[in-house]
């Protein structure tokens, strides 16, 4: 028991220091960017910057739940693409836009239920199912749009995506704020949130403790796809035109945001605070790279590097910690004996 507590508190400590590290890097990046460009810290610039990534950030909220739960959803970017393409397709076919939006959201729920069915009911690995989804849903989007680019949305729709709605904030940012509050309350302060962590820590233990594992996973995957669909709609509104390749590769950014935030890929640990910090860091880093004329493709490469480092560095930290502990324990022999006695 004592061991569990010890490892738990060590984990918490590590997390705290990880978030501290993120904050430190964030400050360095922001200061550097502000020096590079005088308008950098202006509200407009910051909102604009946020707006460029807001769809991915919204999906990252749902992805945090999925990864904490010990699963992964690789299909989100394709679901975003499918949503925007389906909307454009339905609108092109003559459906009024509000009806098309509702229909697309309904399809998003169905897609999530499909993913959830294979993962929670049939019991297939989420990695394989959502990899199939990554390819398949993108394929459906391509069938609908082929190699065209469809725009011609009504003016109110484009304005909703591009113009500020309340103060400096466009609709997407407001939706993000609402979802953020909901996500924090649900994940950090509700019973459902505890279930998500417990399942991520140990699925079997959760099941024997009476947690309805299947239902939780089902809800998470439906939520993930629905939110990705919503994000796809917002993306269509912001871009004003969609293609078969819309949102392609976004899963890299989204998963990086979550993992860099200190959420363990093995599930069971991580907080939305960490994810929030990593989102800010990625945004400012990308913006900083744009300021010094680094192309977006290279930026993606840097994000890929960050993704790897976000798991590699904690591993190294853990190694160093355990080596340090071993050396300390190996020192005075008596302490070792006492420790074991207490532990057992």
121 makes contact with another protein (CB under 8 A): no
For 127-144, give the DSSP string.
Answer: HHHHHHHHHHHHHHHHHH
177 makes contact with another protein (CB under 8 A): no
Give the Cα separation of 129 and 233 in Å (integer).
24
Among residues 57, 259, 281, 283, the one that binds another protein under rule CB under 8 A = 259
- Pick 137 or 195: Cβ nearer another protein: 137
190 makes contact with another protein (CB under 8 A): no
Phi and psi torsions of 166, nearest 5°: -135, 115
Binding flags for another protein, 304-343, as an x/- string (CB under 8 A): xx-xx--xx--x----------------------------
User: What is the closest distance, in whole angstroms, from the C-beta atom of residue 108 to another protein in the complex?
Assistant: 17
Total residues in contact with another protein, by rule CB under 8 A: 45
194 makes contact with another protein (CB under 8 A): no
Give the Cα separation of 117 and 75 in Å (integer).
15
User: How many Å is the Cα radius of gyration of the chain?
Assistant: 22
- Applying CB under 8 A, the span of 25-33, 56-64, 115-123, 161-169 interacting with another protein comes to 115-123
Could you say which residues in the range 219-258 bind another protein, by CB under 8 A? 244, 249, 251-252, 255
For 221-240, give the DSSP string.
Answer: HHHHHHHHHHHHHHHHHHHS
Residue 123: how many other CB atoms lie within 10 Å: 8
Give the Cα separation of 325 and 331 in Å (integer).
10
**Exposure b/e, 75-95, CB count within 10 A at least 16 = b:** bbbbbbbbbbbbbbbbbeeee
User: What is the closest distance, in whole angstroms, from the C-beta atom of residue 281 to another protein in the complex?
Assistant: 16
Among residues 139, 154, 337, 343, the one that binds another protein under rule CB under 8 A = 139
End-to-end CA distance of the chain: 9
The two structure tokens encoding residue 116: 């959830």
Indicate the SS3 state at residue 150. Answer: strand
89 makes contact with another protein (CB under 8 A): no
Instruction: Please report, as ranges, the residues that interact with another protein according to CB under 8 A.
Output: 72, 118, 122-125, 127-129, 131-140, 142-143, 146-147, 244, 249, 251-252, 255, 259, 265-266, 295, 297-298, 300-305, 307-308, 311-312, 315
């Amino acid at each position: 028991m004592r061991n569990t507590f010890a490892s738990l508190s060590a984990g918490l400590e590590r997390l705290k220091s990880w978030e501290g590290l993120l904050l430190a890097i964030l400050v360095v990046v922001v200061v550097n960017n502000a020096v590079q460009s005088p308008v950098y810290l202006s509200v407009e610039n910051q909102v604009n910057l946020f707006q460029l990534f807001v769809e991915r950030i919204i999906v990252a909220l749902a992805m945090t739940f999925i990864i904490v739960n010990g699963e992964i959803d690789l299909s989100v970017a394709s679901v975003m693409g499918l949503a925007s393409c389906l909307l454009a397709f339905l609108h092109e076919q003559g459906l009024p836009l509000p009806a098309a939006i509702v229909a697309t959201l309904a399809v998003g729920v169905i897609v999530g239920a499909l993913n959830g069915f294979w993962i929670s009911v049939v019991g297939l690995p989420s990695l394989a199912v959502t990899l199939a989804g990554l390819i398949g849903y993108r394929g459906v989007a391509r069938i609908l749009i082929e190699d065209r680019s469809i725009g011609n949305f009504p003016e109110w729709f484009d304005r909703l995506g591009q113009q500020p709605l309340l103060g400096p904030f466009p609709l997407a940012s407001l939706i993000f704020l609402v979802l953020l509050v909901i996500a924090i309350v649900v994940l950090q302060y509700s019973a459902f949130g505890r279930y998500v962590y417990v399942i991520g820590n140990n699925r079997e233990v959760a099941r024997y403790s009476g947690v309805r594992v299947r239902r939780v996973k089902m809800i998470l995957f439906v939520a993930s796809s629905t939110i990705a669909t919503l994000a796809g709609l917002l993306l269509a509104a912001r871009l004003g035109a969609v293609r078969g390749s819309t949102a392609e590769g976004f899963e890299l950014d989204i998963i990086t945001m979550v993992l860099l935030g200190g959420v363990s890929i093995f599930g069971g640990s991580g907080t939305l605070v960490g994810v929030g910090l990593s989102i800010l860091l990625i945004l400012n880093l990308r913006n900083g790279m744009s300021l010094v004329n680094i192309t977006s493709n290279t930026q993606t490469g840097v994000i890929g590097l960050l993704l790897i480092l976000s798991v590699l560095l904690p591993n190294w930290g853990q190694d160093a910690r355990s080596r340090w502990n071993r050396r300390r324990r190996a020192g005075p022999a008596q302490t070792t004996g006492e420790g074991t006695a207490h532990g057992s």
